[in-house]
Amino acid sequence: MNKLLHLGACALALAVSGAAIGPVFADETCNSPFISSLIKGQERYLHVWTLGVVGMGDESDKLVTIDVAPTSAQYGKVVNALSVGGRGEAHHMGFSDDRRYLWAGRLDDNKIFVFDLADPAKPKLVITIADFAAKTGFVGPHTFYALPGRMAVQALSNSKNHDGVTGIAVFNNAGELLSTHPMPVTDGGDGYGYDIGINPKENVMLTSSFTGWTNYMMDMGKLVKDPEAMKHFGNTMAVWDFKSMKPEKVLSVPGAPLEIRWSLNPEDNWAVTATALTSKIVLVKQDSSGQWQAKAVADIGDPSKIPLPVDISISADAKHLWVNTFMDGTTHLFDISNPEAPKEVYTKKIGNQVNMVSQSYDGKRVYFTTSLLSNWDMKGDKDDQFLKAYDWDGKELVEKFEVDFAALKLGRAHHMKFSADAQKADLGD
């Protein structure tokens, strides 16, 4: 493993002039609350972690950088594509707490790549971690969640039998493994993992659950016809003491709860998730006795048709939630000003399939990509592989540009992260 000097001082991003402290900071609104140098104005670049495809371009997974500044002569254009070699099921990314470095993982070969964004137009690969499974026993590094001076990596599977029992690995910012934390398997725990969401004010970490390598690397058509395989999806969320990294309670959340989004209002102490298989919005909050509970509060589309809710994005004011349904290529906007009773207020078909959604901190720009997993994406002419950018005026999504990843021979467009010009002063306070 390559070594780096310590990658900057911790940036806790919690103390703000006497205000209540909570997970209130973000740019695309769904980052770790421990990330500093936040983009609250116009983002300049959009980085897309992209899956290589046999017979397409160099066939390699790559980090693709797009200029998204409307005043730029290269607006909507690819300005850089950095291949990392091989195809290992590129999936999710996350910034280090100082936002200088972008961590990205692959779900199949378990490699982790760390990119230096000192020049965000031309990211540089500075660390490759190739022994994640060997050192941790975990497989499928999925969520990269910044902690002060560290990176928490939620895995999806394990190296023993490739089912969904897994855990969290914590690295320092130089890429050195510090600790591992198994997902709970007692008191109702199924041991599965997927996403991480932390509320520092309450010292609470939530984790969600998905499925193991055997399932997520299987062809979707084969998977849904295999009754035994369909039994092996997560049905829980876990509530952890964040400081001790110890699970305290397991919540029953049937149907593979995926992304976790805490309200960004400092006075709020609730989070939401969406369940892939049962098509529900689930609210996680404390009851009158202070105990954390989870309950389904809304349907997403027609659950009987299994539209497969995937990514979600909460607005900075915690009044709206974008929810993508993969199978029908549709995005749904819910009014969640009353989180106990979300109401769908807008829908738009983005393509034959849609997966990831990221919105700017001000909510005026929304971006979508299409790839879910290489073996789960649509087949033939329905296999859309693009990024689309929209302006949101509060009533309608207005398309601004599209980048066709297949036509450009780049691959399958998956996860997105924003960055700004290195010398600009439009980073947050």
Which whole number is the average pLDDT over 415-423?
85
pLDDT by residue (tens digit) across 17-58?
223 323 333 467 899 999 987 788 899 999 999 999 999 999
Average pLDDT, the chain: 92
Which whole number is the average pLDDT over 70-87?
98
Which whole number is the average pLDDT over 239-267?
97
Computed from CA positions of residues 259, 77, 370, 138, in that sequence, does the dihedral angle turn out positive or negative? negative
pLDDT at 15: 30
Output DSSP code: residue 20.
P
Which whole number is the average pLDDT over 318-325?
98
Cα distance between residue 257 and residue 207, in whole Å: 9
User: What CATH number labels 45-310?
Assistant: 2.130.10.10
Sequence ranges of the domains in the chain: 45-310
pLDDT exceeds cutoff 60 at 231: yes
pLDDT by residue (tens digit) across 364-394?
999 999 999 999 999 999 999 999 999 999 9
Give the other-Cβ count within 10 Å of 39's Cβ. Answer: 22
Q: Which of 170, 171, 240, 236 is nearest to 199 (CA)?
A: 240
- Rounded to the nearest 5°, which phi and psi values hold at 358? -135, 135
Contacts of 338 (CB under 8 A, 6+ apart): none
pLDDT by residue (tens digit) across 164-222?
999 999 999 999 999 999 999 999 999 999 999 999 999 999 999 999 999 999 999 99
pLDDT at 61: 98
pLDDT by residue (tens digit) across 255-287?
999 999 999 998 999 999 999 999 999 999 999
What's CA 281's distance to the chain center, in Å?
17
pLDDT at 102: 98
In DSSP notation, 145-179 reads EEETTEEEEEEEEETTT-SS--EEEEEETTS-EEE
Residue the block writes with tokens 């993992």: 193
- Rounded to the nearest 5°, which phi and psi values hold at 250? -110, 130
Which whole number is the average pLDDT over 140-154?
98
Among 232-246, 385-399, 414-428, which is the least confidently predicted range?
Answer: 414-428
Which pair of tokens denotes residue 185? 């398997």
Cα distance between residue 357 and residue 139, in whole Å: 25
Output DSSP code: residue 303.
G
pLDDT at 371: 98
